[in-house]
Structure 1
């Protein structure tokens, strides 16, 4: 199984999306106590005495009343938490979905894997190599504690001869300090064979992914019953990317309707401006931005100079320090010249940065807030972290109310959320989804704030996993 847990596979295995794997004909398997509401019933803990603590508790819950907190003491020898067996059919694909994060004051790192077995003639079981799933997921994942819960999806096909599937959770061995990970809400399914889809007319674009009405109502009921888990309503930053003038120097109608709607609802917005879009004569655009900036309802922030990227090299990832410094400074200077103010907040194109970006930011005194930045090395900025499953869009560009509600339900009680969107890509159906999200948040008494509002009222100190070098829950999706 070692090859399954190569670090590159870990990165592919962490599926922090709201993708709904359900299809007509999927079969949910009878996993005992997958939500840990009944303590550790149905799960087995293999550990030397005193090595571990695996406790079902309210603080570890993503949904419901309880979740499982797994704690590995400093210099522990490691241990495993193993589910009960589930019957499988060779050749069929099985998915395991769960939520992980949290960890309390000392979040840590763990591994999860799907283990297929068959009985031995002499007794016991033989572990078999998983087969490739029919979907683009992997049978193992590395998980970590942290500020937000994220949805992890693993999948594999049962190999020839397999009769049972178990889930193994393995905290990191040899950690330097005691650390914990919270896990909750396991669902195991045998996936139906997916019938070929009829090709769509490309002119129609991609529709908003559907959400099962019964499941949506279940999430909403969970929220109504305990809106904030005993904490304050969240602060919300609306991080809207790629704002620029249209041909002729005006503003696209899709941006204007978002701004008008926000003014009607008396909520704040933030628009990320791309620097080279201000190297043209766009007086109407500049006038509008100045007026909104002065009114204080919209914060305009630094979203790079050219938003360039080819999949591997991005404007602020993979480029030399000098290139990044020049792009950062040029956009700031253009803003001062054309708008009359420097940007206070920064969000990288594709949310991709590297060590050179840290040096650049350290030398940029006007920038105070870094959205979706590196909380481990904040470069002297206030870093606002990303909740990957709590977002305006899923997938990118497609505003999705159902996916948002799913992620929000699993992350109630968080201090803040930075919600990313791309209004230029919102047709009427996607814009309606955005409106539904805003209406929901208003009902939740959320406080809509600007990124720069965190300067005077910063978030609580960030707690990071003890070691998370190979755990990357980030995506270059902008």
Structure 2
């Protein structure tokens, strides 16, 4: 009887648990010109999330860590140290329109070298590893799956397969994004799709590209976040969700 009551209590907790949202915001690089570490749009996104108390994650193109840039590196360090926004690895190269996706080609060893290079740069330039990964403008292959298993620093695959063949850590599939179409946070489209396809999911990874948001797109982004807050969701960092998923519920 005690075991049955415990199981019922755990089931009740699971049903009552709020949906977890992981904001996957892509393509952090250093500002190309000027005296600021990142673009005004990235800074605006950062400041908004901090002011609203919303946790999220920023995907760093690790090629941006190659050239010494003390101001940019310090910005990244400060973002990570504050604990509200987590940095993650968004591949190495910023893809051009004529390029093939970085993780759509190459052997597992070649792709593992790309991931390992990104982790090495993060440790050398920032002083910490990047525990989550999602490719920049690229599909993935079985070689990616195998490569990731060989890079122990990578513990979370954002928009990964539901059942990876090789990767034994946390993989969270794509259900939807913040944007529809890409680069355009459209609150009306988001809400319609969310209500139909995503409202009952335990966790959602929501991708967006802040550097592409003009004022109209920004307005769509903030309306989406207000809608999600009205649903009682919990915003987490990828590592925060990993820790939660590994922690047994309290009886």
Which category of TM-score, normalised to the shorter sequence, fits these structures? 0.7 to 0.9
- Alignment TM-score, normalising by the size of structure 2: 0.85
Equivalent residue pairs, number: 229
Does 440-449 or 373-382 show the bigger shift?
Answer: 373-382
Deviations 1:345-390 (A, max 9, x none): 01112251111112211111111100011222160120111113xx
Deviations 1:23-72 (A, max 9, x none): xxxxxxxxxxxxxxxxxxxxxxxxxxxxxxxxxxxxxxxxxxxxxxxxxx
- Tell me, what secondary structure is at the counterpart of 1:287? helix
Q: Which residue of 1 aligns with 2:111?
A: 324
CA contact (8 A) 2:58 2:86 kept: yes
Identify which of 143, 157, 160 aligns with 1:370.
Answer: 157
Q: Which residue of 1 aligns with 2:19?
A: 234
Q: Which residue of 2 aligns with 1:254?
A: 41
- Tell me, what secondary structure is at the counterpart of 1:348? coil
* C-alpha separation in 2, matches of 1:358 and 1:379: 6
* C-alpha separation in 1, matches of 2:242 and 2:180: 29
Measured at CA, do residues 312 and 354 of structure 1 come closer, stay the same or move farther in structure 2, by a change above 3 Å? farther
- Tell me, what secondary structure is at the counterpart of 1:259? helix
CA contact (8 A) 1:351 1:372 kept: no
* C-alpha separation in 2, matches of 1:270 and 1:231: 25
Say which structure, 1 or 2, has more relative contact order (CA 8 Å, 6+ apart). 2
Q: Which residue of 2 aligns with 1:397?
A: 183
What's the RMSD between the two structures over aligned residues? 2.0
- Tell me, what secondary structure is at the counterpart of 1:349? coil
- Tell me, what secondary structure is at the counterpart of 1:350? coil
Aligned-pair CA distance for 1:308: 3.3
Matches within 5 A, 1:291-370: 291-308=78-95, 313-370=100-157
Q: Which structure 2 segments of 5+ residues have no match?
A: 1-14, 247-251
Q: Which residue of 2 aligns with 1:407?
A: 193
* C-alpha separation in 1, matches of 2:133 and 2:49: 22
* C-alpha separation in 1, matches of 2:54 and 2:98: 35
* C-alpha separation in 2, matches of 1:415 and 1:376: 17
Q: Which residue of 2 aligns with 1:441?
A: 228
Identify which of 38, 50, 53 aligns with 1:263.
Answer: 50
- Tell me, what secondary structure is at the counterpart of 1:458? helix
Aligned-pair CA distance for 1:413: 2.0
Q: Which residue of 1 aligns with 2:171?
A: 383
Identify which of 454, 457, 465 aligns with 2:244.
Answer: 457
Aligned-pair CA distance for 1:287: 0.7
Comparing both structures, which one devotes a greater share of its residues to helix? Answer: 2
* C-alpha separation in 2, matches of 1:260 and 1:333: 28
Measured at CA, do residues 251 and 307 of structure 1 come closer, stay the same or move farther in structure 2, by a change above 3 Å? closer
* C-alpha separation in 1, matches of 2:93 and 2:29: 11
CA contact (8 A) 1:269 1:449 kept: yes
- Alignment TM-score, normalising by the size of structure 1: 0.46
2:29 counterpart of 1:244? yes
Q: Which structure 1 segments of 5+ residues have no match?
A: 1-229, 460-478
